[in-house]
Structures are given as C-alpha cells and as structure tokens.
Amino acid sequence: MSLILGHRGASAYAPDNTRAAFELAIQMGADGVETDIHLTKDGIPVIQHNYEIDRNSNGKGYVEEMTYEELLQFDFGSWKGEQFKGEKIMTLDECLDFAHKHMRLINLELKQTKNLNSPIVEKTLEVVKKYKMTDRVLLSSFDHELLKKAQRLCPELLIGALYDEAEVEQNNIYDILKDAPQYVADLGFDFANPHVDYLCEEGIVDKFTQKGIGVAVWTVDKPYIAQQCVECGVKCIITNKPDVIVKAVREVCD
C-alpha cells in the first residue's frame, strides 16, 4: 500500500511545517510527513518552506540571515488561526525527535542555498544519524548536486530527485524531462519525486519501477487521483489533506 505523507504536515488545516501540523497529520492516519529544511545564520537546521518568514509568521526577513534565537521571537501559528497562536519554528532536531516516535517515513527536503559552501547537508545528516533514522528518511531536493553530496556522505540513506518544470528550467536539468527514469537511474538515486502532473504520461511509474526506483508524488488532494496513484504503484503520496487521502487509499486497498 502507498504511504501517505502530510505535505508540510496536515497543512490544509494547520500552519504548515509546525508541530501542530505534524501531530494532526499523524492523528489523521498519515504514515509520516514531507517537510523542508533551511539553515539559520548560526548553522541550525530549522523546519521552514519559504526562504523568508513573511508569509507564515509575524516577522519579516530571511531564515539564513537570522539566528535561531532571533527566529524564536516570532509566532508561526496565528496566521492560520488563533487556536495556533504561539507555534514556534521547529528545529530539525525537534522534528526528528517527534518523527522517530510516530512516523514510518519522513521526507526531508533540502532547500537550495545561496552559499555554495553551506553545510546544510552535513548538518542535516548529523541530526538524522543522531536519531538513528537513516532507514526512515527520504532526503529530497530540487538541487540534485546537494543530493549527490548526501549520497556520498551517507550511502544508506534514501535519496529522491525532486522535479517540476519551473525547477528544471531554473537548474538547467532538462534531461530529466526527456527521460526521467533513466536520468534518476544514472544518478543512482532511490526515488523520483515529481509533481503529480508528470504521472499523466502512460506507464511512467512502471518505467521507474523497472529500474528499481520508487515514486513519491506531490501534491495530491483529490481522492480519485490518489486512487490512481495507488493502482499504478506509487510508493508515497504527499498531500495537504491526510484525512481525505488516507480514506481514499483505504477504499482502494479494501
């Protein structure tokens, strides 16, 4: 059966990438979550999607230009509702402390960095190894060079190549659109993490499967699409609405 991962937690209902969103995803029956990692100015991996905090907090500015202590001053929950007031930015350490107790799998997305010498890979792997979760982490990124580095440093970790058209153009990796299964196989990665639109190509999941590559697809919020994903052999379905998609997947499997 496909694993269900909450996209930044149960982000349709709770402020994304917060403890509240992660806890709700698990309560709704998700197997784990997909989340995002940035490094603070003082080198601490934190859970945050955007490069800046303007959208999802009462602060402004870029994560990489603030220390962790500075980020702790801001409220990352109230924008979604008063019931979430007081949610703080999570560290990766806090995230994996929760994940290793409650999740079958967690998909960690490394965000691209302006600093080419950023230790984001090393800092992330340090925490993953601390919680002995190398067998339950799927590390993904649109920056495939970061993934190659992670693969060299931790060969036992599951690695997934994220892609969609905008990121392909930005990173000049057009080969992945010509023949994605071969591209990912040549890299030696374990997973392909495409946008759900790319599953429209007939037989594409089978092509990945034949090469020993799993597919983790995002972002699926419609039940009938989730059921199609299960039927064609997708390994992980990433969704903003874990409750809806868990129900849809169980209907197929039953």
Among the residues of the chain, which ranges form H helices? 19-27, 68-71, 92-102, 120-130, 144-153, 165-171, 175-178, 180-187, 204-210, 223-232, 242-253
Catalytic one of 7, 100, 144, 195 = 7
DSSP for residue 220? -
Confidence (pLDDT) at 236: 98
Closest CA to 28 of 98, 103, 106: 103
Contact present, 25 and 91 (Cβ < 8 Å): no
Report the pLDDT value the prediction gives residue 58, as an integer from 0 to 100.
98
User: Could you give the CA distance from residue 151 to residue 129 in angstroms, rounded to a whole number?
Assistant: 14
Of 49, 100, 102, 144, the active-site residue reads: 49
38 assigned to active site: no
- The dotted CATH code for 3-253 is 3.20.20.190
Cis peptide before 209 (omega within 30 of 0): no
Q: What is the mean pLDDT of each run of 10 residues along the chain (254 residues)?
A: 97 98 98 98 98 98 97 98 98 98 98 87 98 98 95 98 79 80 96 92 93 98 97 97 98 86
pLDDT of residue 164: 85
Structure tokens at 164: 């969609």
**What is the structure's pLDDT at 170?**
67
**Residue 138 and residue 241: Cα distance in Å, rounded?**
20
Query: Whole-angstrom Cα distance, residue 141 to residue 114?
Result: 14
